[in-house]
Amino acid sequence: MLRDPDLEKLVVASRQRLTQEFADKYANLRERVRRVPIEEARRIAEEFSCPLEIAMMAHLIYMDGIQSLKQSISLLSAELQRRASIGEDIPNIPGNIMEFAITEGRWIEYVYGTFARDLELKVRDLANLESTLDEESATVEKAISVITARTKLAEGFIVPVLQAWLKEHLKSTSQEALLYFGPPVTKWKHETLKGKLLHLRRRNQALFRKLRKVLSTASESATVDMSIKRVDDLIEDMDNPLTEMTVKSIAHLILHMSPRPTGRGDRFRYVQVGAATTRGSKAEPDMASPFDFLERDVRLARRRVDEEQSKFLMERIDRVIRVLKFKGDPIQDIVKTCLSELTDRLKLENISLEEQYESAERALADVGFREYDTEAVKIVFDFVNTYYLSE
């Protein structure tokens, strides 16, 4: 069982890690936001009717592959409106709005990026432990192991993040924190999550009662008593309205709603550019460039069918194109390079790349500047679908 001193060490380590990561992220965003093309930012601000500073930050979040422009602006604007509704308005001065955009943009990038990804990885080990409870022979030792693992994740990893969020988001409630962290963890829409919260609470309580039932079969033990007390407190607190639930219970609920892995497969959601990842003798390519990820995802697309296949592949192609565009490559060159790389990597035959290039140039010339990215994704997708997936 995880004792209080051990849990406190985890909390302190999490807080220190979060503080350092946020300091680095803030400095990074402040420097990069100055380099956002002003004309592009003005176009976004005009299209979505938002302040220029919000548009600039949304552009960065979009280019980092975290959220779409619409979703980024919606999240930033929602917090602006919430501040106004509680009497903590952000002064309508460019410097103040920019400071707000950077600070809030840092949260969006962290929660929808680092936090969601780290929690997904950490939950895998927990899922293995929880699977043992499905057996009729679930033991006290297994129950304690599950409680310990859940406590370590919920109270040692999630709680410090929630506390920092609540501290920076003045006058926010536990319910607002849950609705902020829930969508990136579950991948559900905000409205979907709200509709499922009561059911999720009941399921979480049911699991805790199952653990308590197993623990109650043990002989007298201080460790078991401590575990039962912890579980009873959580069950009782989850009967309260969401706005009155403790941060600890909210953390356990977020952990409970986090999807469990169902088997081997591609669960990596972002394209990264960095050092190569050694793959040993496996069939997958080394992950050293955006085209390595594109090759992998195109091959993985064959495991999916119909609409799921198309959606999966369109999302992956879109992310690769955004990464290349952020590096400064012209959209026409990006499309040509994608077609060339895929032809070579997938060993496609009887294809005239010159004809493909000319066709791509004509397609891009027929659309406006705002539709370039969408058309580029469509060109690459149609190429893959015609010459690889339809074989």
Kindly list the domain boundaries of the chain, sorted by start residue: 14-112, 135-262, 290-389
**Type of residue found at 332:** Q
> CA 210 to CA 234: how far, in whole Å?
13
Q: Give pLDDT, residue 137.
A: 66
User: 3-state SS of the chain: helix, strand, coil percent to 5?
Assistant: 75, 0, 25
81, HSE (Cβ side, Cα atoms, 13 Å)? 7
> CA 101 to CA 56: how far, in whole Å?
9
209-223 burial, b at 16+ Cβ within 10 Å, e below that, comes to eebbebbeebeeeee
> CA 157 to CA 161: how far, in whole Å?
7
In the chain, which stretches have pLDDT less than 50?
263-286
Q: Give pLDDT, residue 218.
A: 78
pTM for this structure? 0.68
Among 290, 295, 282, 270, which Cα is nearest to 388's?
295
- Contact call for residues 323 and 338 (beta carbons, < 8 A): no
Residues 6+ apart with CB under 8 A from 257: 182, 185, 186, 200
> CA 113 to CA 11: how far, in whole Å?
21
User: SS3 sequence, 94-160?
Assistant: HHHHHHHHHHHHHHHHHHHHHHHHHHHHHHHHHHHHHHHHHCCCCCHHHHHHHHHHHHHHHHHHHHH
Q: Give pLDDT, residue 372.
A: 82
Q: Give pLDDT, residue 277.
A: 42
- Contact call for residues 250 and 174 (beta carbons, < 8 A): yes
> CA 7 to CA 326: how far, in whole Å?
42
Q: How many residues are recorded in the chain?
A: 391
In whole numbers, what is the pLDDT of the chain averaged over residues?
A: 86
Q: Give pLDDT, residue 283.
A: 42
Residues 6+ apart with CB under 8 A from 312: 297, 300, 301, 304
Contacts for 130-135: CB closer than 8 Å, 24+ residues apart: 130/260, 133/210, 133/211, 133/214
Number of H helices, E strands in the chain: 17, 0
Q: For residue 147, give Cα distances in angstroms to 1, 44, 226, 378.
A: 8, 47, 11, 48
> CA 265 to CA 273: how far, in whole Å?
21
